[in-house]
């Protein structure tokens, strides 16, 4: 299997697995217990917290959650007033914002997949936007959105799930959601960074173990998250160079029959979303079943609807449904990517015969 679905999830880094194993094999103590074993587990959690925080702005605290979806729910439901977001956000933002019943403004994006910052209406309590879009990889002007939010007294929530450790997060945001399994860490853990001075009412009640968030933490998951974050910091330049080489190879190898969806400049280049006229994506995926790639967001797969992100860019339903997403990163080899693209091209051309 050639794995090209890094936006859905990344492979677990061996370093992260190694950090987790002692806590899975022997370190079973509750990190919230006062005895020696509990304190040892708690120490591992705090080391991990510092490692995760090292890739985030200063002047805030990291609260571990079950994942980015919980973090985003907590931030959105904990804010007050109206909500402003963009048309290409993840369902964890769009669905949660709608569920609050509060006034909601959804900003459009242009054909490049970029939002145009605009003044925030009075009464807005929260502006929420992705740093890097999960479907097309475009990088949003989060700093400009934060400036406009603050002028109206609103908080700025940054969904940094796809950008954490890869793209600089503006220092001026107020809340940041991140996830371990998008940075070569384990599934089942994420975090919400909360700027000092901001207090959110609890989303979960029943113990307050995290100071605003209830629930027993897993030292193993925390340790894996921390190790993955530390590796993102130490390998940042190497990872970035590798991704740029893979992007150039992929674009050249695909050739002129494919059109890139979204901006090619203001974009994380580990995400390549492309379309081909008349492509039957379901047939392509069947013909290339030993290549893992996506027809859109994994969270919306099977819905039968065209991607809301691609239609927001102005693509027709047919164009959106003839698009695929190739995601690659640290553990993708150039040989694998070349082989996969050649086979995808062969299968796609065969559809026109």
Kindly tell me if the per-residue pLDDT of 37 is higher than 50.
Answer: yes
Give CA angle at 33 (28, 38), nearest 5°. 45
> What's the pLDDT tens digit per position in 250-266?
999 999 999 999 999 99
Kindly tell me if the per-residue pLDDT of 237 is higher than 90.
Answer: yes
Q: What is the pLDDT of residue 35?
A: 97
Give CA angle at 139 (135, 142), nearest 5°. 125
Band (298; pLDDT cuts 50, 70, 90): very low
**Mean of pLDDT values over 73-88:** 98
Q: What is the pLDDT of residue 125?
A: 98
Kindly tell me if the per-residue pLDDT of 124 is higher than 80.
Answer: yes
**Mean of pLDDT values over 279-292:** 96
- Parallel/antiparallel/unpaired status of strands 60-65 and 175-179: unpaired
Q: Where are the domains of the chain?
A: 2-7+236-352, 14-232
**Closest Cα partner for 338 from 242, 248, 244, 237?**
248
Q: What is the pLDDT of residue 305?
A: 80
Q: What is the pLDDT of residue 66?
A: 98
Band (295; pLDDT cuts 50, 70, 90): confident
> What's the pLDDT tens digit per position in 317-348?
999 999 999 999 999 999 999 999 999 999 99
The CATH class of the 2-7+236-352 domain is alpha beta
* Two structure tokens written together for 317: 């339903």
- The domain 14-232 is placed in CATH, from the list 3.40.50.300, 3.30.9.10, 3.40.640.10, 3.50.50.60, at 3.40.640.10
- Distance from C-alpha of 180 to C-alpha of 20, rounded to nearest angstrom: 13
- Distance from C-alpha of 177 to C-alpha of 195, rounded to nearest angstrom: 12
**Closest Cα partner for 262 from 107, 106, 115?**
115
H or E stretch at 100: helix 91-100
Residues classed as catalytic:
299
Band (296; pLDDT cuts 50, 70, 90): low
Kindly tell me if the per-residue pLDDT of 217 is higher than 90.
Answer: yes
**Mean of pLDDT values over 275-289:** 96
Strands, E, within the chain: which ranges? 2-3, 60-65, 82-86, 104-107, 124-130, 155-159, 175-179, 190-195, 259-260, 271-275, 291-292, 323-327
């Amino acid at each position: 299997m050639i794995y090209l679905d890094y936006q859905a999830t990344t492979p677990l880094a061996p370093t992260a697995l190694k950090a987790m194993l002692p806590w899975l094999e022997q370190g079973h103590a509750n990190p919230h217990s006062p005895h020696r074993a509990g304190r040892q587990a708690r120490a591992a959690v705090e080391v991990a917290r510092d490692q995760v925080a090292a890739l985030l702005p200063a002047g805030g605290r990291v609260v571990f959650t079950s994942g980015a979806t919980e973090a985003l729910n907590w931030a959105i439901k904990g804010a007050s007033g109206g909500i402003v977001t963009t048309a290409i956000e993840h369902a964890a933002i769009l669905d949660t914002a709608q569920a609050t019943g509060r006034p909601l403004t959804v900003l459009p994006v242009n054909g490049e997949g970029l939002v145009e910052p605009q003044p925030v209406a009075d009464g807005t309590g929260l502006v929420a936007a992705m740093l890097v879009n999960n479907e097309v990889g475009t990088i949003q002007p989060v700093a400009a959105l934060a400036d406009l939010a603050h002028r109206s007294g609103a908080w700025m929530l940054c969904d940094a799930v796809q950008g954490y450790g890869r793209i600089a997060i503006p220092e001026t945001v107020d809340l940041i959601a991140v996830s371990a399994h998008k940075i070569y860490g384990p599934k089942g853990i994420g975090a919400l960074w909360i700027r000092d001075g901001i207090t959110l009412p609890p989303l979960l009640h029943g113990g307050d173990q995290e100071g605003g968030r209830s629930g027993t933490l897993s030292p193993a998951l925390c340790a894996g998250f921390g190790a993955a974050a530390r590796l993102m910091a130490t390998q940042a330049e190497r990872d970035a160079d590798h991704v740029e080489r893979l992007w150039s190879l992929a674009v050249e190898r695909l050739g002129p029959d494919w059109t890139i969806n979204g901006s090619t400049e203001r974009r994380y280049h580990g995400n390549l979303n492309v379309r081909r006229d008349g492509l039957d994506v379901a047939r392509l995926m069947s013909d290339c079943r030993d290549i893992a790639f996506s027809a859109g967001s994994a969270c919306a797969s099977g819905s039968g609807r065209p991607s809301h992100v691609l239609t927001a860019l102005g693509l027709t339903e047919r164009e959106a449904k003839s698009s695929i997403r190739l995601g690659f990163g640290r553990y993708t080899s150039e040989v694998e990517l070349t082989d996969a693209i050649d086979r995808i091209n062969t299968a796609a051309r065969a559809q026109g015969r």
